[in-house]
């Protein structure tokens, strides 16, 4: 008897593949799902190699047998599987966890493991059969049913029974007589809640757009990466739509990645209006059965355009033709839980794997993409004009150091109040932006100088006036506001650091006639976001106050004033991307102002008007910003000049965490030694946020001039940390190409 062996990626956070023996006669290969015994459990894994005549090298002595083969064709196709394997290798993440990204939870999770497959929802449609011969005499009920069906044509069974007032039995007899046929049709679980977009035709493109489309169309059928740099309002979306239509015309499909699609229902609507029912929309807010349904339909090729958030980069596309990443600079493309992949980078990998062009679009490209364009790894396409010749908004800086303010907290400069009043009086709308939610970001005791800190985290509580609670923004714990300072007992606690709630309250005092609403994480639970957006668009509100949520891709045609209250707020972050993020955010928010017949005005209030991120945003000069920023990164040894990896160790016992982190640092230093200056291990140190949720946090930064050298050092120490634990009570995680340093 000869056995066959396969290697299986099992959905557990463990390194390595697992070898299983196949039952006699079972035919499987890469991409098939199998149910396997795993310790005391039974899990669903995906075959990644085999069948082999003998256990592959590295297999243990005891090998268990596959319980069941679940597919008769690969559930996972080759390209996504290869992409998952790339993720496992590049991010040094467990293979099973990476392969798990490819399947909807229903096909790999517990329900599936217990053998319950998702049964498609079906609708039964009754079709009248043309009377071939004399139907004979029919009872009143059957006759009525037939008459109704003849008059109305094919209809859902439930509708027929309702309308003709007949029972299930009557219909069954009609079917038996061959007078009607019943077709079972799958009902797509509709993530659009039945909304149908009015069809929309492509507008005439401007010369620059046409040139971009021509270049992109010529690249179909092979891999090439593009950076499409287009100022706000330059019509990037029309370029995406045109190249997607070109791919569809070749019988190919298209993958569109967008940041936080849940926040931009408009974009999805636009794609559906142009491309119709073949558009799938994917994001984490979708209910699991709808997701599963869509996954199956994409896999079958019924849905040929996928618009989705970062996880959609793994979508099971049939005959992929093009990949688009909109707002490629957005941080949300980076996943902050394991596997910590970056969807934009993976899109480029996938494009190479499947030989299709990849288009990165942005008004404010990331330094990484900009550098890649400079190195010739990406082809730069520029859109410099705005559609309908909309002028760029006029951006002015208000120097808070010298400008009088209308309120004691200095939230509103006098010029801003004047501008707001003017806008409201003239029937226009305004947006105010402050990237800090809550009422006050901390309470300060004027007697002893202490602040009120969360007991579980090393941050101050934020005062939320509306909820009348102190809230920790890291662990969501809340507490009552103390009457007296917890440290010294004096009744001297004062609100410090204004947030959006306070802006709302203050504005109501300054402009009592204005209708004001606030949009931040606290006011947009559930469907509230869409309601707010609608109300603002219908002009039931004059001023919308918000955090960065208000900056994201919404189109408000009547907004002619944008006010940024504290532009430098993001610059204080201990993060080498702080300036880049600030520049991008300011540019994006400024783009909300203005319309065809009115240029719009942007007032940027700041205490640091001379900072280059602010100056370049004011001047609409992304190229100058990028050149300064990339130069600084070079000089300071940060990406894109180098490559980073960040280890983070956490645990409840501070000393143990510190000790474990230092031990890991030692191992990394040893591994890096052969690379001399090529790889640098920075000393283990407490994270900027030292404690979250009772867990102390230490981190180790590793930097490599070459990606390959860095990767080898990390891989060399992998056995030490890949279990996710350094020692008892100390967890560790690795973040390759980290975006968050907190």
Partner DNA sequence: AGCACGCCGACT
Partner DNA sequence: GTCGGCGTGCTC
Nearest Cα neighbor of 393 from 587, 673, 148 is: 587
Q: Are 489 and 725 in contact (CB under 8 A)?
A: no
Smallest distance from DNA to CB 20, Å: 5
Q: Are 286 and 322 in contact (CB under 8 A)?
A: no
Smallest distance from DNA to CB 56, Å: 9
Choose between 60 and 512: whose C-beta lies nearer to DNA: 60
Quickly tell me which residue has 């004011």 as its tokens.
Answer: 618
Smallest distance from DNA to CB 313, Å: 23
Choose between 386 and 691: whose C-beta lies nearer to DNA: 691
Choose between 66 and 566: whose C-beta lies nearer to DNA: 66
Report which secondary-structure segment, H or E, holds 225. strand 224-230
Q: Are 362 and 625 in contact (CB under 8 A)?
A: no
Choose between 40 and 194: whose C-beta lies nearer to DNA: 40
Smallest distance from DNA to CB 149, Å: 50
Smallest distance from DNA to CB 730, Å: 9
Choose between 14 and 211: whose C-beta lies nearer to DNA: 14
Smallest distance from DNA to CB 721, Å: 12
Choose between 256 and 657: whose C-beta lies nearer to DNA: 657
Smallest distance from DNA to CB 65, Å: 8
Q: For residue 71, give both structure tokens.
A: 């597919």
- The rounded distance, in Å, linking the Cα atoms of 181 and 252 is 35
- The rounded distance, in Å, linking the Cα atoms of 569 and 395 is 18
Smallest distance from DNA to CB 2, Å: 18
Quickly tell me which residue has 């459990």 as its tokens.
Answer: 41
Smallest distance from DNA to CB 102, Å: 18
Choose between 50 and 351: whose C-beta lies nearer to DNA: 50
Residue 647 is classified by DSSP as E
Q: Are 107 and 292 in contact (CB under 8 A)?
A: yes
Q: Are 127 and 183 in contact (CB under 8 A)?
A: yes
- The rounded distance, in Å, linking the Cα atoms of 313 and 307 is 10
Q: How far is CA 359 from CA 205, 237, 264, 278, 288, in A?
A: 18, 11, 20, 21, 29
Q: Are 450 and 425 in contact (CB under 8 A)?
A: no
Choose between 114 and 193: whose C-beta lies nearer to DNA: 114
Residue numbers at the binding site for DNA (CB under 7 A): 12-14, 16, 18-20, 36-41, 59-60, 62-64, 723-724, 728-729
Choose between 84 and 323: whose C-beta lies nearer to DNA: 84
Residue 342 is classified by DSSP as B
- Residue 26 phi/psi, 5° resolution? -75, 130
- The rounded distance, in Å, linking the Cα atoms of 20 and 10 is 11
Q: For residue 569, give both structure tokens.
A: 């707020």
């Amino acid at each position: 008897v000869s056995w066959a062996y396969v290697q299986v990626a099992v959905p557990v956070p463990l390194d390595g593949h697992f070898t299983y023996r196949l039952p006699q006669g079972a035919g499987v290969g890469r991409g098939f799902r199998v149910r396997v015994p795993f310790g005391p459990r039974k899990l669903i894994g995906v075959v990644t190699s085999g069948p082999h005549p003998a256990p592959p090298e590295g297999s243990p002595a005891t090998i268990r047998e596959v319980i069941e083969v679940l597919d008769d064709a690969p559930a996972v196709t080759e390209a996504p599987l290869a992409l998952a394997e790339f993720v496992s290798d590049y991010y040094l993440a467990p293979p099973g966890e990476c392969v798990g990204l490819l399947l909807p939870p229903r096909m790999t999770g517990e329900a599936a493991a217990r053998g319950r497959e998702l049964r498609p929802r079906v609708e039964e449609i009754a079709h009248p059969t043309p009377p071939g011969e004399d139907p004979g005499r029919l009872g009143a009920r059957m006759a009525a049913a037939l008459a109704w069906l003849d008059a109305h044509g094919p209809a859902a069974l439930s509708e027929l029974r309702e309308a003709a007032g007949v029972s299930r039995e009557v219909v069954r007899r009609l079917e038996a007589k061959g007078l009607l046929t019943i077709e079972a049709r799958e009902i797509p679980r509709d993530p659009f809640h039945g909304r149908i977009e009015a069809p929309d035709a492509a507008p005439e493109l401007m010369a620059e757009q046409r040139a971009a489309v021509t270049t992109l169309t010529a690249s179909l059928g092979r891999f090439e990466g593009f950076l499409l740099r287009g100022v706000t309002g330059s019509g990037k979306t029309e370029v995406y739509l045109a190249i997607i239509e070109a791919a569809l015309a070749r019988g190919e499909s298209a993958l569109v990645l967008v940041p936080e699609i849940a926040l931009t229902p408009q974009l999805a609507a636009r794609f559906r209006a142009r491309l119709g029912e073949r558009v799938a929309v994917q994001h984490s807010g979708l209910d699991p059965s709808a997701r599963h349904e869509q996954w199956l339909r994409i896999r079958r090729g019924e849905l040929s355009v996928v618009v989705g958030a970062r996880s959609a980069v793994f979508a099971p596309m049939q005959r992929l033709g093009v990949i688009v990443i909109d707002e490629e600079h957005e941080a949300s493309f980076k996943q902050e839980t394991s596997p910590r992949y970056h969807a934009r980078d993976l899109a480029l990998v996938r494009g190479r794997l499947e030989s299709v062009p990849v288009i990165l679009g942005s008004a404010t490209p990331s330094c990484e993409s900009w550098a890649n364009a400079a190195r010739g790894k990406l082809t730069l396409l520029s859109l410099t004009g705005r559609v309908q010749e909309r002028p760029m908004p006029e951006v002015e800086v208000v120097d808070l150091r010298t400008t009088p303010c209308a309120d004691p907290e200095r939230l509103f400069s006098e010029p801003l109040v004047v501008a707001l009043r003017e806008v409201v009086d003239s029937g226009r709308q305004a947006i105010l932006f402050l990237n800090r939610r809550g009422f006050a970001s901390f309470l300060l005791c004027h007697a002893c100088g202490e602040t009120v800190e969360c007991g579980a985290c090393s941050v101050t509580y934020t005062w939320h006036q509306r909820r009348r609670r102190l809230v920790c923004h890291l662990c969501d714990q809340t507490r009552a506001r103390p009457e007296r300072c917890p440290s010294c007992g004096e009744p001297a606690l004062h609100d410090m650091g204004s947030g959006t709630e306070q802006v709302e309250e203050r504005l109501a005092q300054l402009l009592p006639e204005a209708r004001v609403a606030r949009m931040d994480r606290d006011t947009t639970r559930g469907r509230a976001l869409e309601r707010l957006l609608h109300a603002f668009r219908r002009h039931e509100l004059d001023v919308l106050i918000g955090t960065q949520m208000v900056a994201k891709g919404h189109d408000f045609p009547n907004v002619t004033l944008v006010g940024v209250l504290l532009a430098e707020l993001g610059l204080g972050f201990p993060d080498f991307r702080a300036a880049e993020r600030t520049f991008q955010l300011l540019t994006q928010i400024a783009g909300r102002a203005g319309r065809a017949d009115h240029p719009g005005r942007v007032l940027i209030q700041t205490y640091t008007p001379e900072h280059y991120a602010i100056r370049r945003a004011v001047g609409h000069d992304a190229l100058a910003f990028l050149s300064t920023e990339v130069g600084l990164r070079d000089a300071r040894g940060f990406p894109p000049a180098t490559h980073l990896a960040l280890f983070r160790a956490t645990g409840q016992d501070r000393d143990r965490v510190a000790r474990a982190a230092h031990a890991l640092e030692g191992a990394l230093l040893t591994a890096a030694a052969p690379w001399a200056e090529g790889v640098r291990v920075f000393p283990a140190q407490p994270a900027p946020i030292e404690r979250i949720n009772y867990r102390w946090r230490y981190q180790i930064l590793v930097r490599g001039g070459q990606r390959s050298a860095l990767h080898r050092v990390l891989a060399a120490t992998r056995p030490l940390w890949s279990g996710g634990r350094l020692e008892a009570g100390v967890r560790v995680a690795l973040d390759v190409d980290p975006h968050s340093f907190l």
